[in-house]
Amino acid sequence: MKAHTQKYIALLRGINVGGNNKIPMAELRSLCAQNGLENTESYIQSGNLVFDSALTSPEVENLLENTINQHFGLSIPVIVRTATQFRSIVAGNPFPVASDKEPNLVMLGLSKATPLVATPKELLNYAKLNERVKLVDEHLWIHFPEGSGRSKITPAVLDRVMGSVVTCRNWRTVQKLKVMVDQ
């Protein structure tokens, strides 16, 4: 009898950015299939996967991180959520107007561990370009009205303030991933 499977989304941090940490998506999908992750799909080259598995979220994170390390020689953080969790996260977007008008300027940040309590307040200390920051449940939302390129809210700041590794996706990518988990 086959164990109960559920749909997951996995977000890999910092791959295929600026020529660094190159991981071909076709090869990654193949590795996922070889390791028992079923119906694996990817979206763009920045490490977004949707698949089915009977494993738990932490087990999938460990599996993907170890597989990537062994196959590609890269230490890449992987953050996994169930489809149900992801739908709830998306529904909690506190910036719906900005998301509709500027989908590339609203970011969802997911962390591996529960964020520290003072996260939004501390991040506001770095909001020098009119950024808005909200923590909804355990998920960080940032509106970068002037873009994120010059922002002081950098990946290193996010990791430190949140207390663990964080990866961000813009609203356009979040919406596409939601369509994929809903299929």
pLDDT tens across 27-71, in order?
A: 999 999 999 999 999 998 888 999 999 999 999 999 999 999 999
Instruction: For residue 2, name the pLDDT band (cuts at 50, 70, 90).
Output: low
Domains of the chain, first to last: 6-85 (3.30.70.1280), 92-182 (3.30.70)
Q: Of 2, 9, 6, which is closest to residue 176 (Cα–Cα)? A: 9
Quick check: 20 pLDDT over 90?
no
Distance between CA atoms of residues 53 and 47, nearest Å: 18
The values of phi and psi at residue 125, to 5°, are -65, -25
pLDDT more than 90, % of the chain:
84
The predicted pLDDT at position 100 comes to: 97
Distance between CA atoms of residues 23 and 2, nearest Å: 31
First to last CA, the chain: 25
Quick check: 1 pLDDT over 60?
no
Distance between CA atoms of residues 151 and 127, nearest Å: 7
Name the residue type at position 15.
I
Least confidently predicted of 117-131, 143-157, 163-177: 117-131
Quick check: 5 pLDDT over 60?
yes
What is the number of other CB atoms lying within 10 angstroms of the CB of residue 109? 22
Average pLDDT, the chain: 93
Which residue did the predictor score with more confidence, 59 or 114?
Answer: 59
Average pLDDT over residues 143-169: 94
Instruction: For residue 119, name the pLDDT band (cuts at 50, 70, 90).
Output: confident
The values of phi and psi at residue 77, to 5°, are -65, 140
At 137 the three-state DSSP class reads coil
**Concatenated DSSP letters of 25-52:** HHHHHHHHHHTT-EEEEEETTTTEEEEE
Which residue did the predictor score with more confidence, 90 or 119?
Answer: 90
